[in-house]
Structure 1
Amino acid sequence: MKTNTLLTCALLLTTAAEAQIGRRFPSERRVVRDPVTGTELTFLTSTPVGDSKIYQTHNQWTADGQWLIFRSGRVKGEALAVNEKTGEQVQVTEGGYTGMLNVARQAMKLYFMRQPPGTAAPAADGANRPPATLQIVEVDLGQLLADSQRGKLKKASAYQRVCGTTPAALQAGGDMALDGDETWAYFRVGKEEAARHLAPGTKLETEFGPRHMGAGPAGIAAMNVRTGAIKYVVSVPFQIGHIQTNPWVPGEIIFCWETGGKSPQRTWTVQADGSGLRPLYPEAPYEWVTHEAVISKDEVALAIMGHRPVPALAQEAAAGTPVAGANPGQEAAWGPSGTREKPTGLGIVNLRTREMTIAGQTPSGSGLWHVSGSPDGRWAVGDDFARNIYLLDRRTHELRLLSAGHKTTAADHPHPTMSPDGTRIEIQSAMLSADNRSMNICIIPVPAEWLARKAE
């Protein structure tokens, strides 16, 4: 019995040491040539342990431009940083996180939500979700990475600060976005709280599409990460999905109506004080709009899908059978949207003038799906259903297949994100994985000859 007790204690101590914030992992950095395009790809991770990048709506790089934050199975439930030059990896959270990781652009800080220690996990978003509290936590990345480099690590509390705890009545969710001034963090709230802030008589939206999602209400609240103060932002009569902010304009929020596919009106914007609620890009019933991302001070990129061949759509409707596979949207139940009978492609919406231009489109296939762009307005980037990565010169509208061979069997899509300086793109890829599913973090450079182009 005594032996078993000692063994248990030893295992617990070992687990705690392995999960310690600041723990370092050796470089896995590999440079390979794209088998289709010949582009030089830098894989910052290359072992099959289950890596994934932050969603393309959010920042990926630390404020000093040297590290990328990502999720990984190396330490279950924790986030890591990888140095882009050396490939060294460092664990940057301890105690877990939930939802979106938020990397500050102005300071070497990381923000995320997590369950308070010792509490039960909240149920998935939706009806009958029990009340739960969540902490918003700040990580001092600058001090942590410096101490990790020196081998002089302190306790997690020296690097992690609890900004505050959300009230249980909010039923807060983990899809969080850091304001442009890096003072407020916005997050979803539950249906009950959202209903309390709706105007009397507001008609609630019902579910939309074959995934039975989209019904409201939903809402957004915020926490001041310096004081812990809570404020309510807005309620809407439909389900809210991704929340993001304009990193260059404090108080500007972009969010979506989430259905798991085509929405009646996908993209929305609102100010932090709840004013100015409106559709970002007013869409027609025949348009399938998705995967919006703020790319500059005044612009949001989005995909207007052209992935549904008209004859196939008619046949599906007649047969009444959905098309199975890794890519969504072929089911007839989504309605008459997503064909190329109308203009489709990578759209750029100006937040100030409200003008929308289609910057480019693939000549065939699904069209661009997840999109991003450079803050200087030179480049846009997108992936497609085949996991190909396309680069677009916004000045000439030239579209180039930059990288391919990123297996369609991968656990997720590439989700390309342009670097803040517009010189490279981060994706997640299963190209190196023997199981064809496990993904790694990969950097694709903008071609040198494109970077050398002069403005006309």
Structure 2
Amino acid sequence: MKTALLLVALLLAGTARAQIGRRFPSEKKVVKDPVTGTLLTFLTSTSAGDSKIYQTHNQWTADGQWLIFRSNRAKDEALAVNEKTGDIVQVSEGSYTGMLNVARKAMKLYFMRNLPGAGKERPAGVQIVEVDLAKVFADSKAGKMQPASAYQRICGTTPPELQAGGDMALDGDETWAYFRVGRDEAARHLAPGTKLEAEFGPRHMGAGPAGIAAMNVQTGAIKYVVSVPFQVGHIQTNPWVPGEIVFCWETGGKSPQRTWTVQADGTGLRPLYPEAETEWVTHEAVISKDETAIAIMGHRKIPGSTKEVAAGSAVSGANPGQEAAWGPSGTREKPTGLGIVNHRTREMTIVGQTPSGSGLWHVSGSPDGRWAVGDDFSRSIYLIDRHTREMRLLSTGHKETAADHPHPTMSPDGTKIEIQSAMLSADGRSMNICIIPVPQEWLKRKY
């Protein structure tokens, strides 16, 4: 009898720990960057395995007060941290998979959830779930949480034959959610005679086919968007132009043609930035209604040169992409740097590049067109004034041993940058959520 009661108590305790609305104490602290003097605001500061959302997606809630992230504080769940108070709140219950999608117009969060029993031997659909963030925050603050069903709504379930999963992206109208489909479904939508691409590079990735489908988050209706003869990687949308999708050919490194765009009805499929064999294009991110930022890498040695380009740190894993099998790309024998591609004119401008090292790697920018930002292999963060082309080192020391890269993302108002950092980590790996301000003297500039 005692054993049974103990098991019930443990199960109830586990449920409480996993409950939506659970609150965690503030860990907020301000730290001066030891090199640049920039005041960094760490919204989390303990070693709990925090990760920000990828830089292709929105980070801030529609009211601008909370940032959504994931953490081992509540494993496989989404959390939010209030930028002013530092309060941390669990905002999902029942787990999620793939990308977290924070709506910009409404206080909503969307994500995918695997159905029980899904696997290779037993394929199943996935649910797309909507979370009412405003209600979660209000009830959590009042200490009067209801069951998870009061805050989470199942928008729909994808048919098993779609083999849906991976990245998900919320359309600019916040009505449709786009996601990857499996190879079998993608093959059914390819035009007869389409030549499939083979794997590319030493990671043996990139082979097709792949495809994109969508669910209407209001009705649960499903529509097919497009199939391509290669492996689809990150899917993102243009938040300011409904129906515009950007995605990549994923190889784990250099791609024959990295960036692609298509309309939600499947028309207009084309390379976003047509790249040359010598260009290593990566980490594209839509930054304004007409623009996507890209990194054109300059991280590899020039074969046979007497003066080799510095290729980054000797720390294991900090300087990837050196294998010869990637081909003749990624060196500074050709132009490299942070590029801005205009979707309408199709013009590309390089707005800056580090003088040495890997060059800029993960990139973002402000919607008003003033700033661009990027990190490099050393985990340093650089800000670029797009009007003057001046580049400034904002912060460094985020540890090359970190579990992941900083992935800088500019805030919607263009006044600050969110990164993930291991600066405060005792083990050199565990990361925290950190905010870097755009310098006041730059914000005051008039052009």
Could you say which TM-score interval applies, normalised by the shorter chain? over 0.9
Q: TM-score, normalised by structure 2?
A: 0.97
Residue 311 of structure 2: aligned partner:
none
Residue 264 of structure 2: aligned partner:
272
Count how many residue pairs are aligned between Structure 1 and Structure 2: 441
Residue 302 of structure 2: aligned partner:
310
Residue 126 of structure 1: aligned partner:
none
* Per-residue deviation, 1:313: 9.1
Report 1:288-299 matches (<5 A): 288-299=280-291
* Per-residue deviation, 1:188: 0.0
Residue 91 of structure 1: aligned partner:
90
Report 1:234-273 matches (<5 A): 234-273=226-265
Residue 329 of structure 2: aligned partner:
337
| Alpha-carbon spacing, 1:201–1:33, altered in 2? closer, same or farther (3 Å) | same
Give the counterpart letter for 2:227 in structure 1. S
1:144 to 124, 136, 161: 136
| Kept after mapping to 2: 8 A contact 1:410/1:439 | yes
State the alpha-carbon separation in 2 of the partners of residues 389 and 173 from structure 1: 32
2:317 to 321, 325, 328: 325
Residue 53 of structure 1: aligned partner:
52
Report 1:1-400 matches (<5 A): 2-116=1-115, 119-122=116-119, 131-311=123-303, 325-400=317-392
State the alpha-carbon separation in 2 of the partners of residues 352 and 369 from structure 1: 24
State the alpha-carbon separation in 1 of the partners of residues 317 and 408 from structure 2: 22
State the alpha-carbon separation in 1 of the partners of residues 185 and 343 from structure 2: 29
Deviations 1:123-160 (A, max 9, x none): 5xxxxx85221000000001110111111111100000
Give the counterpart letter for 1:120 in structure 2. G
* Per-residue deviation, 1:35: 1.0
Residue 421 of structure 2: aligned partner:
429
* Per-residue deviation, 1:325: 2.9
1:404 to 386, 389, 396: 396
| Kept after mapping to 1: 8 A contact 2:318/2:378 | no
State the alpha-carbon separation in 2 of the partners of residues 364 and 445 from structure 1: 25
* Per-residue deviation, 1:309: 1.5
Give the counterpart letter for 1:266 in structure 2. R
Question: 3-state DSSP class of the match of 2:4?
Answer: helix
Give the counterpart letter for 2:379 in structure 1. R
* Per-residue deviation, 1:179: 0.1
Do residues 454 (structure 1) and 430 (structure 2) align?
no
| Alpha-carbon spacing, 1:367–1:51, altered in 2? closer, same or farther (3 Å) | same
State the alpha-carbon separation in 1 of the partners of residues 82 and 369 from structure 2: 26
Identity %: 82
State the alpha-carbon separation in 1 of the partners of residues 242 and 154 from structure 2: 23
Which runs of structure 1 show a deviation greater than 6 angstroms over 4 or more consecutive aligned residues? Answer: 312-316
State the alpha-carbon separation in 1 of the partners of residues 114 and 321 from structure 2: 34
| Alpha-carbon spacing, 1:303–1:313, altered in 2? closer, same or farther (3 Å) | farther
Give the counterpart letter for 2:28 in structure 1. R
Deviations 1:8-52 (A, max 9, x none): 100000010111000100000010000111100000000001000
* Per-residue deviation, 1:115: 1.4
* Per-residue deviation, 1:3: 1.1
State the alpha-carbon separation in 1 of the partners of residues 305 and 113 from structure 2: 43
| Kept after mapping to 2: 8 A contact 1:313/1:332 | no
State the alpha-carbon separation in 2 of the partners of residues 79 and 214 from structure 1: 30
Give the counterpart letter for 1:428 in structure 2. Q
Question: 3-state DSSP class of the match of 2:139?
Answer: helix
* Per-residue deviation, 1:166: 0.4
Deviations 1:334-377 (A, max 9, x none): 00000001110000000000000001111111000000000000
State the alpha-carbon separation in 2 of the partners of residues 115 and 216 from structure 1: 24
| Kept after mapping to 2: 8 A contact 1:313/1:330 | no
State the alpha-carbon separation in 2 of the partners of residues 299 and 238 from structure 1: 24
State the alpha-carbon separation in 2 of the partners of residues 56 and 219 from structure 1: 22
Give the counterpart letter for 1:57 in structure 2. T
| Kept after mapping to 2: 8 A contact 1:268/1:281 | yes
State the alpha-carbon separation in 2 of the partners of residues 263 and 300 from structure 1: 17
| Kept after mapping to 2: 8 A contact 1:130/1:171 | no
* Per-residue deviation, 1:76: 1.1
State the alpha-carbon separation in 2 of the partners of residues 312 and 394 from structure 1: 35
Deviations 1:241-292 (A, max 9, x none): 0000000000000000000000000000000000000000000000000000
State the alpha-carbon separation in 1 of the partners of residues 180 and 7 from structure 2: 40
State the alpha-carbon separation in 2 of the partners of residues 381 and 121 from structure 1: 40
Residue 319 of structure 1: aligned partner:
none
State the alpha-carbon separation in 1 of the partners of residues 28 and 48 from structure 2: 15
Give the counterpart letter for 1:341 in structure 2. E
Residue 430 of structure 2: aligned partner:
438
Give the counterpart letter for 2:83 in structure 1. E
State the alpha-carbon separation in 2 of the partners of residues 121 and 408 from structure 1: 36
| Kept after mapping to 1: 8 A contact 2:407/2:419 | yes
Task: Structure 2: state its 5+ residue gaps.
Answer: 309-314
* Per-residue deviation, 1:314: 11
Task: Structure 1: state its 5+ residue gaps.
Answer: 124-128, 317-322
Give the counterpart letter for 2:132 in structure 1. D
| Kept after mapping to 2: 8 A contact 1:223/1:229 | yes
| Kept after mapping to 1: 8 A contact 2:42/2:432 | yes
